[in-house]
Amino acid sequence: MAEKVNKDHIFYRNPTKYYPTAERGEGIYIYDSEGKQYIDGSGGAVVVSIGHGVEEVKKAMLGQAGKIAFTHGSQFTTEAAIDLAEKLVNISPEGLDRVYFLSGGSEAVETAVKMARQYQVDRGAPSKYKVISRWTSYHGNTLGALALSGHTGRRKYYQPLIQHTPHIAPAYCYRCSFGSEPGKCNLECAEELEKAILYEGPESVSAFMAEPVVGATAGALVPQDGYFQRIREICDKYDVLLIVDEVMTGIGRTGKIFAVDHWNVAPDMLICAKGLAGGYTPIYCLLTKEKIYRTIKEGNGTFVHGHTYSQNPLSSAIALAVLVYIEKHDLVNRSAKMGAYLLEKLKVLERHPIVGNVRGLGLFAGLEFVRNKETKETFDPKLKVNVLIGNRVFEKGLIIYPGGGGADGVHGDHILVAPPFVITEEQIDQIVKILDESIAEITEEKGLDASG
Ligand SMILES: Cc1ncc(COP(=O)(O)O)c(C=O)c1O
């Protein structure tokens, strides 16, 4: 049979791959132009939360489009943006009172870095500019966000263009950098932040940025309880802003509205979120403390930054409709409940010789694949085990989000399973069944079982 190719003018992300044409979506399903049904088991790239094709969102979209679809943030404010900001402040951790709207995650990350910097200058601390982040992290693909991201594979090509910024070890319990174990450690990975601040010089450090639960680069790394509380203390001690990147975790994904809510930690800035509009429109935001807003207002008077589509009224109305839908259907609690069920079922897959670790929080789960469970030896990256598994489940009508490089930036294979919150137990069983079959098939076909 001739291999399928895409014959059009799109500059595809992977020109060697065939992309089926998605025609429509409904609930947890996507249907392609040949009528094939896919379970959206990762909500794309951890985006779709309330499911596809929700009528209420369509109505809000049309309603706002009928009024006004675009205004520029330097000229107008709109009811839609005002209402969305109010809603977000009401559901956010204590003290986050101002909302800066954006249309991409990388854009939001870079905005946070610049806002932190301008805040430091405007309050009279101009020597503070460095942002410390962590290895095995992802904060976006634009050059500034990539500088903070700790993923060698994504950085390698662009290294000469990437500014050097300090990184510390991640909270990666399965592969603890300090040789410790959950429950027995002294949160050495959090203490690293203090060391890094002292090495760099506290007078030079503006902020620390981290994902509360690491997503794309390692597959749902959940820190130990106490980790973020300790990070908060260290930031306070050295007058460093704490920025949490909740691009993947925000708006219910982990079973709380924000992942930091699990630890009652109030950051100075919070970047949110693919789930803000659940895939219905590109809108993100940066939530900040009033003192940051006030300092900039009383300092320069203007935040020297801006993007054309920020504060977009059409996107704002859509995001508000998504938040209202989440609240009306109690979907954050559903994410917690279904997430617990998903994790329990996925844990069973640890019986496969190549499944080293299953972890997660809410409907945000990760499976890590290893060549040897005893030693946690990784597969040769050339084998692309995560891609093989991703492709096999896709053939069987399941979409998951594969990734590599978690172990050391180059080695390591994982997948993320993060379905829409409206998923049922039966549908979760189906996801696990397809994963179970596919992992067994790939293990056998590629001879991946080192113990055999
Ligand atoms: C934690 C995190 N931050 C930032 C980004 C970048 O977002 P975007 O792809 O919208 O630029 C991502 C994307 O996956 C992410 O997971």
Domain boundary, last residue among 301, 328, 355: 328
Which residue's C-alpha comes closest to atom 3 of ligand 1? 139
Task: State the burial class of residue 42 (Cβ atoms within 10 Å of its Cβ: 0-12, 13-18, 19+).
Answer: buried
Residues 78 and 227 placed together within one structural domain of the fold:
yes
pLDDT at 1: 55
Residues 248 and 392 placed together within one structural domain of the fold:
no
Residues 185 and 234 placed together within one structural domain of the fold:
yes
CA of 153 to the centre of ligand 1 (A): 15
> Could you tell me if residue 257 is inside a domain?
yes
> In the chain, which residues have pLDDT < 70?
1-2, 450-452
Residues 49 and 117 placed together within one structural domain of the fold:
no
> Could you tell me if residue 10 is inside a domain?
no
The whole-angstrom separation of Cα 136 and Cα 58 is 37
For residue 336, cis peptide bond before it (omega within 30 degrees of 0): no
Out of 106, 107, 111, give the residue to mutate to test ligand 1, the one with the largest number of ligand atoms within 8 Å of its CB. Answer: 106
Domain boundary, last residue among 292, 309, 328: 328
CATH of the domain at 104: 3.40.640.10
Out of 13, 139, 285, give the residue to mutate to test ligand 1, the one with the largest number of ligand atoms within 8 Å of its CB. Answer: 139
The whole-angstrom separation of Cα 280 and Cα 5 is 28
> Could you tell me if residue 14 is inside a domain?
no
CA of 372 to the centre of ligand 1 (A): 31
Nearest C-alpha neighbor of 404 from the set 67, 176, 151? 151
Task: State the burial class of residue 373 (Cβ atoms within 10 Å of its Cβ: 0-12, 13-18, 19+).
Answer: middle
Domain that holds residue 396: 22-53+330-446
> Could you tell me if residue 238 is inside a domain?
yes
Domain boundary, last residue among 277, 306, 328: 328
Residues with CB under 6 A from ligand 1: 45, 104-106, 109, 138-140, 211, 215-216, 245, 247-248
Residues 89 and 214 placed together within one structural domain of the fold:
yes
DSSP state of 362: S
Residues 299 and 377 placed together within one structural domain of the fold:
no
pLDDT at 16: 94
| Residues counted in the chain | 452
CA of 175 to the centre of ligand 1 (A): 23
